[in-house]
A and B are shown apart, each in its own frame.
Chain A
Amino acid sequence: MVIRNERINRRRQVVIIMAPELLILLGAAVILQADLLPDKKFLLLPPVNFTIKAVNLAQVLLRWEPNPDQEQSNIQLGYHVKINAPQEEDYETRNTERNLITILHKGFSASVRTVPWNDHSLQASSWVSAELKAPIGSPGTEIVNLTCTTNTKADNYTHLRPYQVSLHCTWLVGKDAPDDTQYFLYYRYRSWIEECQEYSKDVLQRNVACWFPRTFINSKGRDYLAVYVNGSSKGAAIKPFDQLFALHAIDRVNSPANVTAEIKGTCLSIHWEKPVSAFPSHCFDYEVKIYNAKKGYFQTEKMTTNTLITIIDDVSKYYIQVRAAVSPVCRATGLWSEWSRPIYVGKDDQKPWTEWFLIAVMMTICFILLIFSLICRICHVWTKLFPPVPGPKSNINDFFVIINNEKTGSSETEVISYAEEAGFETLEDSVF
């Protein structure tokens, strides 16, 4: 019994000693196996079945599959997609398909290769390419100079979409397009496509402009607007044309609303509201233009708030205009809106008018006085020319009579003085 126990104990001891050694050997073998792998040079194989398909206006779907011959490993793989035409672009993705927004009227070409996703020491695979040929059509028949603008208007009918975006596009007929060519315009925003219903025509009745009063465009959106114009003619196959527009570049921002201004003493305060737009008020930059009518100079201020208070040192009429733009804080830099209709504030300076008026009055008074004095002088001359001759002689006779009577008595002095006065009076009268 004791011997048996001893044997069992010994076996246990052996097992206890051997187990870690076995584990060490096993671990070493695993590590050695792992070490063997890099010597093999892990090769990345290019993807297979690379296809490009036009799925929509100015939209393609790139699709590929991982190479079935690729060795399985724990290295994460990704794909490097390179667009060669119409515009070079690169990106890496782990997906095996990609939707891409691009113009197609010049054709489309792209390449894919397998790359390690995180480990950059491994070499990427070789390239696999595919392309979409440009659509058929006689060169020079496609439209040129396509320009589009969007505008936002308030829509009172629905609460779900309080703002409506309209779209207006114009273009020129291709220089080699036959006279009977007719063009048709389509736009795509996200997954909505619409055909134009309102066209403007040129002299030869060909469509050269298009108007959408309401569109599916979301003015706050960041997706591109795709516009496609194709044509039909009996004389030639018309080449289609497409173009992508970034919303911030074609959006015509409305002018600020309800611009009001008032002057209180030397304080000019101007207030306005945000333009009709889906963007909130903190997304706008403003420019205020103040024109001093008296001095004839402009003053512009850049603002981000809706009120401007400025001190004016001049009594004059001021013309005020404000314009807005969506701030780079909310959207990529776009165009300024039109200036708002000018509003006038302040009175025209009364001083010049009153001054001139006073001066004119003074001048007329002086003139009148001058004329009067002249007339008086003329009158003197008149009287000198035609003096009343008989008058003075009769009075002189009375004068001598009086002097003789004076000597006789003082009772007659009253009569004498009266007679003297009467004589002088008549003398005066005769002079004037």
Chain B
Amino acid sequence: MRWPGNMERIVICLMVIFSGTVAHKSSSQGQDRLFIRLRQLIDIVDQLKNYVNDLDPEFLPAPEDVKRHCERSAFSCFQKVQLKSANNGDNEKIINILTKQLKRKLPATNTGRRQKHEVTCPSCDSYEKKPPKEYLERLKSLIQKMIHQHLS
């Protein structure tokens, strides 16, 4: 019965090594994925700015001067907003596509998970509301802040 015993040990060792390399790879790539996504989001916001005149002029929650470590929570408040187009035109489709891309969940980072429990961030309802143009500007400003503060 020696043979199966050794084989099992080898298989277990290989699995441990494999899972170790995969785990290490995923943790180091998490930061890069977040960085790539944030850069994409800046492009999406710039594109949405071109269609600002087609958006419903309703006031939207637009956090400004967000507390440190509350950037993700503030970003989710930006995401919860329903960006509607005022008139039904060709631009409606583009706006919907861009809005969908904006609502995608951000890649997580290890530090993010830890700090969520420590800091209580303001609820989305408590942030002030701004017209769509300023909403997009503040969103871009928040993404820029997230890029150079957390990825330096």
Contact = CB atoms under 8 A, between A and B. Distances in A.
Interface of A: 76, 78, 80, 90-95, 98, 117, 120, 220, 222, 279-280, 282-283, 328-332
A329 B42 contact: yes
Contact of A282 (B58, B62, B131, B151): B151
Given A222-B141, A329-B39, A329-B42, A280 B148 contact: yes
A241 B12 CA distance: 75
B147 interface: yes
Contact of A328 (B42, B62, B130, B134): B42
Contacts of A95: 128
Interface string B131-152: 1001000000100110110011
Given A95-B128, A120-B58, A329-B38, 6 more contacts: A90-B59, A92-B130, A93-B128, A220-B148, A280-B148, A330-B148
10 closest residue pairs by CB, A with B? A280-B152, A92-B129, A330-B148, A93-B128, A92-B59, A91-B130, A91-B128, A283-B148, A329-B147, A330-B147
B125 interface: yes
Given A90-B59, A91-B59, A282-B151, A331 B144 contact: yes
B126 A94 contact: yes
Nearest to B149: A220
A279 B148 contact: yes
Contacts of B59: 80, 90-92
A222 B129 contact: no
Q: Interface residues of A: mostly helix, strand, loop or mixed?
A: loop
A90 B144 contact: no
B148 A222 contact: no
A383 B39 CA distance: 97
A332 B143 CA distance: 11
Contacts of A78: 129
Contact of B144 (A93, A94, A98, A330): A330
B65 to A, nearest CB: 8
Nearest to B151: A282
Interface in B98-152: 125-126, 128-131, 134, 141, 144-145, 147-148, 151-152
Contacts of B147: 283, 329-330
A263 to B, nearest CB: 34
Contacts of B145: 222
26 contacts: A78-B129, A80-B59, A90-B59, A90-B130, A90-B131, A91-B128, A91-B129, A91-B134, A92-B59, A92-B128, A93-B128, A93-B129, A95-B128, A98-B128, A220-B148, A279-B152, A280-B148, A280-B151, A280-B152, A282-B152, A283-B152, A328-B42, A328-B144, A329-B38, A329-B39, A329-B144
A117 B60 CA distance: 11
A220 B144 CA distance: 11
Interface in B19-62: 38-39, 42, 58-59, 62
Nearest to B145: A222
A406 B86 CA distance: 140
Contacts of A222: 141, 145
Nearest to A326: B148
Contacts of B131: 90-91
A120 B128 CA distance: 16
Nearest to A94: B126
Nearest to A78: B129
Contacts of B152: 279-280, 282-283
A331 B125 CA distance: 27
A125 to B, nearest CB: 16
Contacts of B62: 91
A114 to B, nearest CB: 14
Nearest to B152: A280
A251 to B, nearest CB: 14
Contacts of A98: 128
A55 to B, nearest CB: 16
A90 B128 CA distance: 11
Contacts of A330: 144, 147-148
A116 to B, nearest CB: 12
A98 B129 CA distance: 13
Contacts of A90: 59, 130-131
Contacts of A220: 148
A222 B147 CA distance: 13
Nearest to B137: A332
Contacts of B42: 328-329
B151 to A, nearest CB: 7
Contact of B148 (A80, A93, A120, A331): A331
B96 to A, nearest CB: 21
Contacts of A94: 125-126, 128
A330 B35 CA distance: 11
